Amino acid sequence: MSQLSARRRSVNAIMLTLTGVCTVVAVGLLFFILGYLLVEGGSSLNLDFFTKLPVAVGETGGGMANALLGSAKVLILATLIGVPIGFLAGIFLAEWATPGLAAAIRFVTDLLNGVPSIVIGIFAYTLIVLRTKQFSTWAGGVALGIMMIPIALRSTEEFLRAVPNSMREGAMALGATKSRTIFSVVVPAAIRGLISGMMLNLARVAGETAPLLFTALNNQFWSPGWNQPTATLPVQIFTFAISPYNDLHRQAWAAGFMLLFLVLLINITARSIVSRGGLKAR
């Protein structure tokens, strides 16, 4: 065994330690952010926060009840729009499409995925808000739904392809039609991955602010139905954060903590259902 020079050995030790430091810092950042939000906002997550409406500009108190409901409504709509389209198209890609067609559809979907969220907001504004002459919850839902499509498609295709062909062949051999096979055999086999993918998708759009700025706008009060502007959690955080009022800052921290907590909870649950790596699909 040749003698390693002291220089080479020390470079080795230093660089390897540095890489460890980088990793620890990266992981530490997550805990720092979570911890900071907890400290600043945790105590403000009181009953008022969950039940009261925001007060007039300049007054103190109030809460984010309407923003919580608004976010829920927008996200439900987004899921109802984005997931079925992505899911069904994913089935098409995995079970029927020829390689060329599949590649073309994947390419177009990647294009859609790469669109910055603010541009999707503009698209929804010109498509819906200008034409219906109304800022609305459903315009916001459509914007977020469009953002959910590419990931829904990708994850559906990926998990369906992972189901072994033997299962399909077995079903066919028993006389099932192709669609029967897909819905009774293949999809249930892939269900964990599909649910996990849907949850990750939801967590991602739950925090999106930009597409909602020109679609759902904002609302000081409750927003009845689906055709009125509505308050949403991320937009409220943004508005409160850039204001000068300390009381609003306090509420922004609380909302931020809650949002982050929910997003992380969904992420962790989704990933524990199925362990798969990589952010490439984003």
Contacts of another protein in 67-96 (CB under 8 A): 69, 72-73, 76, 79-80, 84-89, 91-96
6 binds another protein (CB under 8 A): no
50 binds another protein (CB under 8 A): no
Residue 46 beta carbon to another protein: minimum distance, rounded to whole angstroms? 19
In the range 9-48, which residues lie near another protein by CB under 8 A?
Answer: 9, 11-12, 15-16, 18-23, 25-27, 29-30, 33, 36-37, 40
Among 48, 245, 269, 273, binds another protein (CB under 8 A): 245
156 DSSP assignment: H
Q: Choose among 192, 85, 191, 194: nearest CA to 147.
A: 85
119 binds another protein (CB under 8 A): yes
- C-alpha to C-alpha distance for 228 and 223, rounded to whole angstroms: 6
**DSSP H/E element including 38:** helix 6-41
Among 65, 189, 243, 273, binds another protein (CB under 8 A): 243
Q: Which residue lies nearer to another protein by CB, 189 or 243?
A: 243
54 DSSP assignment: B
Residues 6+ apart with CB under 8 A from 192: 273, 274
- C-alpha to C-alpha distance for 37 and 42, rounded to whole angstroms: 7
Q: Choose among 243, 205, 30: nearest CA to 113.
A: 205
134 binds another protein (CB under 8 A): yes
Residue 68 beta carbon to another protein: minimum distance, rounded to whole angstroms? 11
129 DSSP assignment: I
Among 237, 251, 254, 274, binds another protein (CB under 8 A): 237
Residues 6+ apart with CB under 8 A from 106: 93, 154, 157
Cβ-contact 142, 124 below 8 angstroms: yes
Among 42, 48, 65, 172, binds another protein (CB under 8 A): 172
Q: Which residue lies nearer to another protein by CB, 18 or 46?
A: 18
Among 143, 252, 254, 274, binds another protein (CB under 8 A): 252
Burial of 64 (0-12, 13-18, 19+ CB in 10 A): buried
Q: Which residue lies nearer to another protein by CB, 46 or 242?
A: 242
Q: Which residue lies nearer to another protein by CB, 46 or 58?
A: 58
In the range 178-197, which residues lie near another protein by CB under 8 A?
Answer: 178-180, 182-183, 195
